[in-house]
Amino acid sequence: MTAGPETIHTAPPLRDTVTVVVFMICVQLIGSMASLWLPAIAPEVAAGLEVDASLIGFQVVVVYLGGMVTSLFAGGLVSRLGAWRISQISLVLFALAHLVIASGALSLIAVGSFIIGFGYGLINPPAAHLLSKVVTPRNRNLVFSIRFTGVPLGGIAASTFAPAIALAAGWRLSMGATVLVALALALLMQAFRARWDADRSREAPLFRSPLADIRDALHLPAIRWMCFTGLFLAAIQLSLNAFAVTFLVEETGYTLVAAGLALTAVQVAGVIGRIAWGVLADRIHSGFTALVINALLTAGSALATVFVAPDWPSALVYLLFFVFGFTAMGWNGVFASTVVEHSPDGKAGNMTGAALFFTFSGVIVGPAIFTLGYQLTGAYSGSFVITALLALAGTATILLAARGARETVRK
């Protein structure tokens, strides 16, 4: 089983590779920033709305429910409208979402979060389609991993700027930052639309059965188990992003800005980690092996976080969160590359959409269970035990996916 025919086996022009990768990083960055802006200022928002800060976990759930919906339709939308246009639409949705959230009403915050999810679900399938045109088998993992640095870069932007802007101007006005950058990028991308959407088909159905891609994915052993791997690893990643700041503020006495630095350490490590894991996977010629190592190190980092206490030196806390970010934030590029590599010809975007449905399911399950664990135990630190167990479960599904891939090759 190979990647689709759009995959280029001879080196494409460097200009094309740079153009696609840079714009896809920027789209991912803004999507990540939009989804993590509220978690980065959760204590401030909670104080303004007079609600429990732990409820931010449910806001994350709403975001990824929206993502689950659009990820299943993204394949058809890409075929009909073009991958470049769908990326622009996602940016417009992020801007609209933050305008709605800025109203300050709880019900509209939920609606805005759902709209963020609509945009987020439209990011990865078109990116997979576009990247498959500019990668070669020798650099696939690295290129996909570089593109996925947009997630931690967006987290860095959120954790760095959101607290400062919220404290200076109020959390509602801070939402305007995403509106401005998202619309500016969408307009800039228009100049390149004709070049990169030349393969769109006006005859392609705009919508298809949302279960078709899932059904196809579950019939392919390697893709099936990769779907579950995405579920487990995404649950860990979003729990870390959603609760790092609140955990440090409420259980270790950190200020909002000091806790934001820890989240920044997570995101910086994620940028470095994504590239490092991509390099490793290409060097050893096995995305599966790189993912197993990653998942095991993530389990160890999660267990270490359980023991964080107020008397820990801040440098040690930041180091731990850096290591946690290097592992828990570093898997996405290799994961996406491996899904594309083992997808049927011409189905890279569709299989990516199906895998994302499960990945977003993990995003929903993870923070929800993490929040429930806090409600039952009264401690965020104890909830990190759950993330360690999820990492071990992810290790098992990666091994099963690798076995499925080997069996498919033999047939």
What's the pLDDT tens digit per position in 269-313?
A: 988 999 999 999 999 989 999 999 999 999 999 999 888 888 899
Q: In the Cβ-directed half-sphere of 198, how many Cα atoms lie within 13 Å?
A: 6
Question: 10 Å Cβ neighbour count for 256?
Answer: 20
Average pLDDT across the chain, whole number: 85
Which whole number is the average pLDDT over 383-408? 90
Q: Is the pLDDT of residue 9 over 60?
A: no
The terminus-to-terminus CA distance of the chain in angstroms comes to 10
Of residues 294, 372, 342, 247, the one with CA closest to residue 2: 342
- Judge contact between 397 and 391, C-beta under 8 A: no
- How far is residue 129's CA from residue 407's CA, in Å, rounded to a whole number? 26
Q: Is the pLDDT of residue 6 over 50?
A: no
- Judge contact between 26 and 148, C-beta under 8 A: no
pTM of this structure: 0.77
The reported pLDDT for the residue numbered 166 is 86
Question: In this predicted model, what pLDDT tens digit does every residue of 158-196 receive, in sequence order?
Answer: 888 888 898 888 888 889 998 999 999 999 999 999 899
Indicate the Cα dihedral angle 155, 158, 159, 160, nearest 10°: 120
**Continuous H helices in 170-255:** 171-174, 176-189, 193-196, 212-218, 221-252
Q: Which two three-digit tokens encode residue 247?
A: 């955990």
- How far is residue 261's CA from residue 161's CA, in Å, rounded to a whole number? 11
Please report which confidence band the pLDDT of residue 411 belongs to, taking 50, 70 and 90 as the band edges: low
Which whole number is the average pLDDT over 262-271? 86
Q: In the Cβ-directed half-sphere of 96, how many Cα atoms lie within 13 Å?
A: 15
In the chain, how many H helices and how many E strands? 20, 0
More confident residue, 411 or 107: 107
- How far is residue 38's CA from residue 329's CA, in Å, rounded to a whole number? 19
What are phi and psi for residue 137, nearest 5 degrees?
A: -55, -30
Residue keyed to tokens 């806090």:
374
